[in-house]
Structure 1
Amino acid sequence: MKVTLLAKPLTNVYVEQIAGQFDMPDLTLPFWGSRKKMPMHRIVRLEGEGNYTVFHFADGSQLMVSLTLKKMESRLSPKVFVRPHKKSIINLLYLESIHPDKQQLSVSMVNGDRVEVSRRKASRFIKQVKGFQQELMILDSKPTAPVVLVA
């Protein structure tokens, strides 16, 4: 059984608007001896691999950094990023559906990735998703200021 969460499709413009509401600044990540700024709202999910973290971005690109998932978790916005499993962190803006099963709960991301939810974290994860949905509904009901582009 598949449970769809968001009624409307996710657009880049919508994600850009929401990013401003959820306080999602750019992340500065160590990359090949230098530092690289990455927009936090474009991160779909993070995957831990030992002392490294693989970032999966909305455009399909990936970036591996030499920081643990635990260190990365403290740098991310807790309203939008949740940790459903010890090896992954997901961005709720890109969550497409939840797949409840008797043995294992999992989620599908907009980019097609499927992430397992650990049994220990399942109830907390569902509460976080419901809280996030309520915040989205509140944000959708508020009128937004028009975006003015200056040339």
Structure 2
Amino acid sequence: MIRAILVDDEQLNISNLKALLNKHCGSVDVVGTANSVDDSIELINKLNPDVVFLDIEMPDKNGFELLKAFQSPNFEVVFVTAYDAYGIQAIKFSALDYLLKPINIEELKASVNKLEVTLQHKRDNKRLQNLISLLDKKIPNESPKIALPTMKETFFVPIANILRCESSNNYTTFYLCDGTEHVISKPIYEFDEMLSPYGFIRCHQSHLVNKEHVRSILNQDAGYLVLNFGNKNIPISKQKKALIKELLSF
């Protein structure tokens, strides 16, 4: 979901825009609204939105002054204005887009589509930066992370915090030490290759385990790995039992 804040000094305008977004732009979640520049600055710092739909002309301060309050804004901006003359200024401020009041539904949809593409590029760039940091051995003090792209959000998780992975067809579920779970639409063998240099063991066709979190081996059937967290014992395949014991130095 795209997290949005709406800023306009007229509450009716906010209500109208919110209703249009809810009806025609299902990917946008309005997480907050504000009626002044000062209130919106506080709200942006608190909620960290993906985009701010920003009225330009407001009584005390205008929308451009809001942007000047952020040295390096990490959100996109869609200006909403009744004055076409503000378009050039909006472009100079590198706004993603600007909409004229009254808002045209098709123009709103087009603006949200542009926003979706822009945010996806941002996420892809962040994944690439994370990959570079993983490969860069010049930063020994940083805990390496892995990008886990779910349906709604991409999470950047420290590898040390991953307890285990379990496959189901072409999906892999990551289980973290804090009890969090993330389902990723990739097969487990891709993560096996990625995580094995960090001490992960493929103990079974469907299971990949961080050996740092293995407490013991349960001698039942072909064997099970007992982990420090969670209440599920992880099966060991017969073919890998000897190798697993060797890798764990049991």
1:92 aligns with 2:204: no
Q: Which runs of 5+ in 1 are unaligned?
A: 1-19, 134-151
Equivalent in the alignment of 1:106: 224
CA-to-partner distance for each residue in 1:57-84, whole Å, 9 max, x for gaps? Answer: 0001111001110011111143510011
Cα distance between partner residues in 2 of 1:57 and 1:50: 20
Equivalent in the alignment of 2:237: 118
Cα distance between partner residues in 1 of 2:176 and 2:152: 21
Cα distance between partner residues in 1 of 2:143 and 2:233: 24
Cα distance between partner residues in 2 of 1:63 and 1:79: 19
**SS at the partner of 1:27?**
strand
Letter in 1 for 2:227: M
Shift of 1:96: 1.1
**SS at the partner of 2:215?**
strand
CA-to-partner distance for each residue in 1:8-33, whole Å, 9 max, x for gaps? Answer: xxxxxxxxxxxx98x96100122226
Question: In angstroms, what is the RMSD of aligned CA positions?
Answer: 2.2
Letter in 1 for 2:213: Y
**SS at the partner of 1:46?**
strand
CA-to-partner distance for each residue in 1:69-126, whole Å, 9 max, x for gaps? Answer: 001111114351001100000011111111123x321111111320010000111111
Which TM-score applies when normalising by structure 2? 0.41
Equivalent in the alignment of 2:72: none
Alpha carbons 2:222, 2:241 under 8 Å: kept: no
Cα distance between partner residues in 1 of 2:193 and 2:161: 17
Which TM-score applies when normalising by structure 1? 0.66
Tell me the percent identity: 23
Between the two proteins, the alignment pairs up a number of residues equal to 110
Alpha carbons 1:81, 1:92 under 8 Å: kept: yes
Cα distance between partner residues in 1 of 2:208 and 2:143: 15
> Which protein has greater RCO, CA pairs closer than 8 Å, 6+ apart?
1
Alpha carbons 1:24, 1:77 under 8 Å: kept: no
Equivalent in the alignment of 1:41: 160
Q: Which runs of 5+ in 2 are unaligned?
A: 1-138
Kindly report structure 1 stretches of 4+ aligned residues shifted beyond 3 Å: none
Alpha carbons 2:148, 2:182 under 8 Å: kept: no
Higher strand proportion = 1
Cα distance between partner residues in 1 of 2:171 and 2:182: 10
Equivalent in the alignment of 1:51: 170
Equivalent in the alignment of 1:64: 183
CA-to-partner distance for each residue in 1:20-56, whole Å, 9 max, x for gaps? Answer: 98x9610012222653211111000000011000001
